Structure 1
């Protein structure tokens, strides 16, 4: 029997887009014949996944899962919202989220991990899903937050079913207190984050480049007023404080009463907010613009 080398497996993966385990199996079944292995994968529907890999996938689901002292969130994309309502796809997203909860948020590690209940990896299961459903799918991102004392609460806006939806939030709260009380506070903060889309936890965490751009724009706007530099500097600092109130979670106005600051709400609870993460499905992915006329013409064979 021919030796199944790493180079041979790599060549087959590049030709087909199939997963490593699937490529090894194909080469084993075909005694190392590369072209025969391609055909073997095609008959199994696995090579077809490669043809779909370039198509834009901006729909899908966000999944959240939690355990004692930690929680995970994963975004898995597909091409259409229809697939997000498929039970098999929902099971896949929920399972991948559990994998992330167990091993962390490194995507390569998640893809290489065993898919629950199978002898395949997560990456191979994804390829099988693509071949079965007929749409490109990607595991886009994952995040795991942990606390030493407290809770990591989860919130899913307009959940399709428990733990699955299109806008998910993780909130890490460190401190003593009853679990249910901390969980409720975390969920309330999660609702706030889902609504306000903060960019940083506190002022120290604001992206320096983004802050510098904001300061430059505000300075130019202030100079247009013709006021002295000393006055301009005060105007800019005042507007920077306003900027912080827009993008910094702890400086934002609490949406639940429209007057308190999030910082004050957390302080009153006697805990520390140590982190948060917000995933909105498909954010940042450039979606193709539908051309209805072209679609009709293609359907009619024009």
Structure 2
């Protein structure tokens, strides 16, 4: 009716179902962020929710395949349905679409597996993976969170941040660093020294720091303001690495990163923000 104002929207906390939904999201975020899988009791302690609440919520998430439970250990991980939904979202992302042709070309030139990763809190997350045509495949998948300190994509991204931004990220990384392999960087000072080298030469390595026999080269992708927004890696197997790896892997990797960075700079929808 004329002159009649509609009722104001209720605050978010008063909308029916919001509290339960927030618990669902919070528990999934804790499972996603923890370096190691968590049990229900550990999840209850980390979340601060009563154990019966966590049990009920986890049961609902398991039923919807948003979480999955290891039948041997009872530990929880993100479920296949959540990863499928995330993959569809990332598959439509403008950054992936701006990169995919150069990623395919890089995969074809090197003959190796190629990843595109973006920062996700204290991790990098793979939003694209193109498999090597060889019979040997890597265990990674789209949607995987990987550590910044032990991966070529993480180190390539960190090295190109300005000093203040890099130190803020480093301060937030869990200490001491998780040691996945004997070669994994173990402390903050060693990581800082390696990042200086990466910044000077423009690319990073993962020297069997996450998987035995896997050696990765990583380089950054820059946004419209020259800020790193992503990183690309080429992953090889030690036993079949070519004689001149810089020419065989690093040179085409850097060309792909420059081409994608230029496309971002030339595309208003991509260059309008530093955090794609």
So what's the TM-score if we normalise by structure 1?
A: 0.31
User: Of the two structures, which has the highest relative contact order with CA contacts closer than 8 Å and spacing of 6 or more?
Assistant: 1
When Rg is computed on C-alpha atoms for both structures, the one with the higher figure is 1
So what's the TM-score if we normalise by structure 2?
A: 0.33
